[in-house]
Structure 1
Amino acid sequence: MSTESLHIVCIYPDLLSTYGDRGNALILARRAMQRGVPVEVSEIRSDQPMPTSADIYLLGGGEDGPQALGAQRLLADGGLHRAVAQGSVVFAVCAGYQLLGTSFFAKGTKCAGLELLDLYSDRGPTRAVGELAGDIDPRLGLPPLSGFENHGGRTHLGPSVSPLARISTGVGNDGVYEGAWRGKLLGTYAHGPALARNPALADLLLRWALGVNQLPPLDDTWADRLRSERKAAIAAGRP
Structure 2
Amino acid sequence: MSSDHIKIVWIYPDLLSTYGDQGNTIMLERRAALRGIPTRTVHLRSDEHVPDDGDIYLLGGGEDRPQILAAQRLRKDGGLHAAVQAGKAVFAVCAGYQILGHEFGGEEGQPLPGLGLLDIRSGRGERRAVGEVVGDVAAELNVPRITGFENHQGVTSIGPNAKPLAKVVAGVGNGDGQGFEGAYAGHVLGTYMHGPALVRNPALADLLLYWALGVEIPPLDYSWAGRLREERLNAVLPAT
TM-score bucket (shorter structure):
over 0.9
Distance apart, 1:102 and its partner CA:
0.3
What does residue 14 of structure 1 align with?
Answer: 14
Deviations 1:106-125 (A, max 9, x none): 21132110000111001112
Alpha-carbon separation, structure 1, partners of 2:173 and 2:56: 24
Q: Which runs of 5+ in 1 are unaligned?
A: none
Alpha-carbon separation, structure 2, partners of 1:180 and 1:59: 14
What does residue 82 of structure 1 align with?
Answer: 82
The SS at the match of 1:164 is: strand
What does residue 188 of structure 2 align with?
Answer: 185
What does residue 42 of structure 2 align with?
Answer: 42
Aligned-residue identity in percent: 59
Q: Number of matched residues? A: 234
Residues 199 and 220 in structure 1, CA contact (< 8 A), matched pair in contact too? no
Structure 1 residue 160 and structure 2 residue 161: aligned? yes
From 224, 227, 233, the counterpart of 1:225: 227
Deviations 1:156-175 (A, max 9, x none): 00011000000011111025
One-letter code of the match for 1:133?
Answer: V
Distance apart, 1:184 and its partner CA:
0.3
One-letter code of the match for 1:207?
Answer: Y
Alignment of 1:47-62 (within 5 A): 47-62=47-62
What does residue 27 of structure 2 align with?
Answer: 27
Distance apart, 1:235 and its partner CA:
2.9
Structure 1 residue 96 and structure 2 residue 128: aligned? no
What is the TM-score normalised by the length of structure 1? 0.95
Q: Which runs of 5+ in 2 are unaligned?
A: none
Distance apart, 1:138 and its partner CA:
0.6
Deviations 1:73-106 (A, max 9, x none): 0001011101111111100000000000000012
Distance apart, 1:236 and its partner CA:
5.5
The SS at the match of 2:123 is: strand
Alpha-carbon separation, structure 1, partners of 2:219 and 2:4: 18
The SS at the match of 1:24 is: helix
One-letter code of the match for 2:5?
Answer: S
**Aligned-pair Cα RMSD in Å:** 1.4
What does residue 237 of structure 2 align with?
Answer: 235
Deviates more, 1:26-35 or 1:223-232: 223-232
Deviates more, 1:198-207 or 1:220-229: 220-229
Alpha-carbon separation, structure 2, partners of 1:229 and 1:199: 14
The SS at the match of 2:164 is: coil
Deviations 1:30-67 (A, max 9, x none): 11122111111001100111111100000000000000
Alpha-carbon separation, structure 1, partners of 2:54 and 2:93: 19
Alpha-carbon separation, structure 2, partners of 1:207 and 1:144: 18
From 208, 211, 215, the counterpart of 1:208: 211
Structure 1 residue 151 and structure 2 residue 152: aligned? yes
The SS at the match of 1:43 is: strand
